[in-house]
Amino acid sequence: MTITPEQKLALAEAGEAPLELADPKNGDAFILVRAETYRRLVEEAEDHREHEAWGKVGRKARDQLASENSY
């Protein structure tokens, strides 16, 4: 799918900012970002989820050790 000339102009005017588009039929909003920006955001989100998952593992291990070693 390709962008329309109107969208291309709006993207140029937006610069690096995301472009919000609205469906005129139902008002649904969409954000149009450059593919490289989207890929970077997805990668950052995946890194964050992985970091959070390791944090949960660490907290669970800490809690388990604390309960095993309680006096």
The domains of the chain are located at 1-33, 34-71
| Band (29; pLDDT cuts 50, 70, 90) | very high
Q: pLDDT value at position 71? A: 60
CA distance 10 to 19: 7
| Band (70; pLDDT cuts 50, 70, 90) | low
Q: Is the pLDDT of residue 18 over 70?
A: yes
Backbone phi, then psi, for 10, in 5-degree steps?
-65, -40
**How many residues comprise the chain?**
71
CA distance 52 to 66: 21
Q: pLDDT value at position 30? A: 93
| Band (61; pLDDT cuts 50, 70, 90) | confident
25 DSSP assignment: T
